[in-house]
Amino acid sequence: MKVKGRISSVHLFYVLVQSVIGVGLLSLPHQTHQKAGSDGWISILITGFFIHLIVLMIWLLCRKFPNLTLFDFSKVILGKTVGTVLNFLFIMYLLTIICYIFIIYTDTLKRWILPETPGWILLLILFVLLIYGSICSIRNMLSLFSFLFLFNLLLFCITFFVYKDPSLDVRYLFPIGSNGGWNILRSTEDTFVSFIGFETLLIYFAFMKQSKSISALKGAFSAIFFITTFLMYIVMISTVMLSPEEMKITQEPVLYILSAVEIRVLSRLDLIFLSFWGLVVFTTIISYSFSASLGISNLFRIKHKFAVMLAGTFVFIVSIIFYYMEITLIEEWLKHISLIFAVIIPVLLLFITIIFKREAASTYEEKEN
């Protein structure tokens, strides 16, 4: 089923940025410091370079099947039965990511802003927002993403206030590479989770006006470069503001730093940052739920709005069930399944396509004959 609606490379940039930058932003400096210490920013740089290579392979795969999403060309590559199974698993993966976002976002709000609010109330609010934001068309979603992209820049600007803090010490970044190359590479396993979202290109490339042109790849590369730079900046600013001992015990270094900044006009910069961050997380939820809903609609042959309702209901129920589980266990599980669905499967599909010379055109010709 060929998709309807077309987007430009600029739109793809907005979609990809909003899909990737989400709940992992706040805890990333703490996670990278656990293994790489002050060299956590190097781990992000290495991960960003690796993601560029994976994005290139995804583009090479999708350009062979223009106007078709993963849910369509998987059946062409693997056959109807195996392709349908893969589609189902990929949908479950997308829904699992949304559940993870729901749980992390709710946990963060309860610890920093709403400690007395029941968790299920916050999950219900996210459920309503998911339905409202995902039931729209791709064009409406792009308009929303283009506007909310400004809040990523506002997050960046808010961090400028920490430079007036006298505790800032650039020496915490040095000596570069002192934690060892192996520890830096080990830390990329943690930073990879913060880059999750680029695999939605398996769906969004189908909406490109010229998916085979290099402009589509440029839009995706620009987004990954922006994300890498942004995450590196967040980790570096946290490193120079907190001592190594503080970094080890502070789960959300950015919020902790902003909460200590005092300005005459503004107070509690951490709450302002959280408000803007919430809007960024909202777009990540919409992107994943929109992608999952396309797959559900394709799998069960139902309308998009019913698929959104089905996806949202599943996420809401599962999030409530697993909300009281140990979050670190979910994160560890997510590291493995994200590597499978975001890296291994796209690469395998590309190799199969090249070896067996699978093309979308030949498939449609067979159907017409």
**Tens of pLDDT along 326-355?**
666 777 788 889 999 999 999 999 999 998
**Rg from Cα positions in the chain:** 21
**DSSP letter for each residue of 9-41:** HHHHHHHHHHHHSSTHHHHHHHHHHHHHGGGHH
Quote the DSSP letter at residue 344: I
Q: How far is CA 277 from CA 123, 134, 138, 213, 260, in A?
A: 17, 19, 23, 34, 18
Band of pLDDT at residue 362, cut at 50, 70 and 90:
very low
The number of residues making up the chain comes to: 369
Q: What pLDDT was estimated at residue 368? A: 36
- Which CATH superfamily does the domain covering 9-368 fall into? Amino acid/polyamine transporter I (1.20.1740.10)
208: helix, strand or coil: strand
Q: Is the pLDDT of residue 60 over 80?
A: yes
Highest mean pLDDT among 86-95, 157-166, 190-199, 359-368: 86-95
Q: Is the pLDDT of residue 72 over 50?
A: yes
| Dist CA 271 CA 254 (whole Å) | 11
**DSSP letter for each residue of 123-146:** HHHHHHHHHHHHSS-HHHHHHHHH
| Dist CA 316 CA 134 (whole Å) | 14
When pLDDT is averaged across residues 50-74 and rounded to a whole number, the result is 92
- Evaluate whether 161 touches 258 at the Cβ level (below 8 Å): yes
What's the first-to-final CA gap in the chain, in angstroms? Answer: 18
- Evaluate whether 113 touches 272 at the Cβ level (below 8 Å): no
Q: What pLDDT was estimated at residue 49? A: 95
Give the number of other CB atoms < 10 A from CB of residue 355: 8
Q: How far is CA 154 from CA 143, 148, 317, in A?
A: 18, 10, 33
- Evaluate whether 48 touches 194 at the Cβ level (below 8 Å): no
The pLDDT mean for the chain works out to 87
Instruction: Output phi, psi for 367, to 5 deg.
Output: -70, -35
Give the number of other CB atoms < 10 A from CB of residue 275: 12
Band of pLDDT at residue 171, cut at 50, 70 and 90:
confident
Q: Per the structure block, which two tokens stand in for 58?
A: 């995804």
Q: What pLDDT was estimated at residue 151? A: 87
When pLDDT is averaged across residues 228-245 and rounded to a whole number, the result is 90
Q: Is the pLDDT of residue 149 over 70?
A: yes
Q: Is the pLDDT of residue 131 over 70?
A: yes
Closest Cα partner for 307 from 71, 120, 105, 55? Answer: 71
CA 290 to chain centre: 13
Handedness of CA 141, 146, 148, 153 (dihedral sign): positive
- Evaluate whether 149 touches 287 at the Cβ level (below 8 Å): no
Q: What pLDDT was estimated at residue 334? A: 83
Q: Is the pLDDT of residue 92 over 90?
A: yes
Q: What pLDDT was estimated at residue 314? A: 95
Tens of pLDDT along 263-321?
Answer: 777 777 888 888 889 889 999 999 999 999 999 999 999 999 999 999 999 999 999 98
Conformational region of residue 67, where left means phi above 0, alpha means psi within -120 to 50, and beta covers everything else: left
Q: Is the pLDDT of residue 150 over 50?
A: yes
